[in-house]
Structure 1
Amino acid sequence: MPSVLPDGEPVPDDGALPPHALADAGRRPLGFYLHVPYCATRCGYCDFNTYTASELRGSGGALASRDNYADTVAEEIRLARKVLGDDPRPVETVFVGGGTPTLLPAADLGRMLAAIRDEFGLAPGAEVTTEANPESVGPRYLEELRAAGFNRVSFGMQSARQHVLRILDRTHTPGRPEACVAEARAAGFEHVNLDLIYGTPGESDDDWRASLDAAVAAGPDHVSAYALIVEEGTQLARRIRRGEVPMTDDDVHADRYLIAEERLTAAGFSWYEVSNWATTDAGRCRHNELYWRGADWWGAGPGAHSHVGGVRWWNVKHPGAYAQALAEGRSPGAGREVLGDEDRRVERILLELRLVDGCPLSLLKPAGARAAEKALADGLLQPEPYEAGRAVLTLRGRLLADAVVRDLVD
């Protein structure tokens, strides 16, 4: 959940949406994202809207406390029910992210999920995920999560090498994420993800191979692998600026991506989004697919973003301000924007091109269509889907995905 919020028009105090946002809602899936903004420590690369205990002390008082956080989020879920009115859709996906959601008791995460179930109902086979720090869970905690209705868990592994974890300011020990996968399986979780980061200063190709091999050997059915982005204002950015650690260049990122594709494919994983691989279709993260395909989701929590029917809004960032708004019966929304047809066309290309199914060529304007022809000739798009009317990236195209997208949206 990004720490910087965009500008936008005011959100009404009651959170009401324009009538057109709910038109044809029944044709779109509905999901919930629940943001838990608390962390035990701040990782050096993190630019998310998160807070440690020391950062909250004296800032927002009891309203910012995590002790009553589940009740506060439940209030926003009840607000969502009022705003969406008689919308009959059950919730198809729930994703609890952070921060470190598992700093809260498992019962608190269960109460937030119960509020969604009570207000909206969960669709049969709904996907219910939480992120977890490997050091913040154990077998009993995972069993409680599973009993509460969670059926997917995502562990932040990042690397199997201690010196890489140290640069990232990750506090878990190598081997603990792999043990968590076994504990999650024993607790009854069918779907388990490991998050990895490549391109950390000081990481070698062999370090990255070792991390991939360790992740695969642990037995998850999903692996996410993201290039490290050094965000301004983070501790890591300051260390790089001072010359304490080197900056990793784009060529290194490309090499590491190719290593990931080779290792994961050999282990039975298939890419379905540029940074995500799964062993089966059922193992894909359906909640993230909901984002990438422009469906509807309500984001509850400080700084959380929502999208319903072409209206996008975001909440105030600070936990104290967020809780205060809900305590006063107001929407915690800080701003919103209504997306026009052109905005939605561009976003579809931006997001869908990253998927294994690609995006329809019919979305492209003449300049974009010419760019697609050139991308095909340059080996960046796959010929067979192109002939069928879709732009699908090749492996080389995935390495240059941002550049391809920039050309196709013209």
Structure 2
Amino acid sequence: MPRRQQTGSGRTIGVGWSDDSSADDGPGAERSAPQAPGGAGRSGPGGPLPPPASAAGRRRRPLLLVGAVAALLALVLVLPSVLLGGVPAEEVAERYLEAVVAGDAKTVREHLAPQDDVLDIALTDAVLAATGDPIERFSIDRVSIDGDSAEIIATLARGEVALEITLHLARHREGLLRRPVWELQPVQLPVLKVEIPVGSDALRINGHLLEIPVAHRPREAFVMSEIRLHVLPGSVELQAQEIGDHVTPRTVRVEVPPVLGDWTSRSADAGFELTEQGTEELSGQLVDSLETCARSTSAHPEGCPFAAPSGVSGPGSWELTRVPDVHVAEQEHGLIHLMVFADAEFTVPPSASGTAPQTHRVVIDADAMAVLDRDGRFHTDWLLGPVYGDSTPGE
């Protein structure tokens, strides 16, 4: 029986996967390679291979590698600091001492150990910058660490003077990682004692007029009052505030050695000195006082710097026979010592019994003291002592 011949009108059924399963492949058509479900791919001995990387993916790989390296470097650099305690105790002390040398008032104040009734008004950048012969250099000599405590021995130098100081630090933990941190313990600064006139509400330090807090202003009625100041080592210049033409502020300079610790100066007298106008004013007050005494009829006027010789009594009359000569002997701690020289005569009139009048000459060699009150006014008083004179009978 003859074999049936296939015609070209038949439909070819593809075997395996193709790009388009609905397409007709004619005789001799080239078949596509088998594909994995979901897209084109290459076949390998062990099954389908992953699809080739895109161009964007190839660009991201170096960036990820660089980021990983940077993160590793940051970890290597930061982790030892976290584990070992951050800034070493020695460096913390060095930073503070550098601030002292530079006159950094903010840093100095931050680490100041406060003391009762000691003012910090002198710890300003302007005042510290104007301090003469400040600390020039320092050295760290020894570092001792005992657990969470450290002791730093350093040397401060000012001119030819170099002194040893001690700083104390404590270590504590802070932050989420509980990182150890060294902290400088409060530092005690030198203390300067200054006597200022009563009524003062400001003090000039190194040329800068600084207000004194109300609670620390002098409350006395006369003379001087003392305040205490925190200062840094160096030459500190002090002046009282001006109050008038009769006195001028005295300039006093205090040398503070290169120390940080328990040191207190002697009391510095930042008072006044008399001007020519002030001397004339005081001289006039004392002459007026002598003239008032001379109007007395008593042989021993009360509260006066002269009297008739002992044994002379009864009423009489006084006369100043020499113009008083007033000298300023000393000015210290708000007290003005004055000396007055003059001559006087006390005359006893004749008695009813016919006794001749008698004149008694008296040499006045007197001392007086003057002070200023809160309003800047002078107050004088005689320093009374023995009075010497001779007696000459009248004609």
Report the TM-score, using the length of structure 2 for normalisation.
0.18
Pick the structure with more helix per residue: 1
Relative contact order higher in (CA < 8 Å, ≥ 6 apart)? 1
Q: Work out which of the two has the higher radius of gyration on C-alpha atoms and give 1 or 2.
A: 2
Pick the structure with more strand per residue: 2
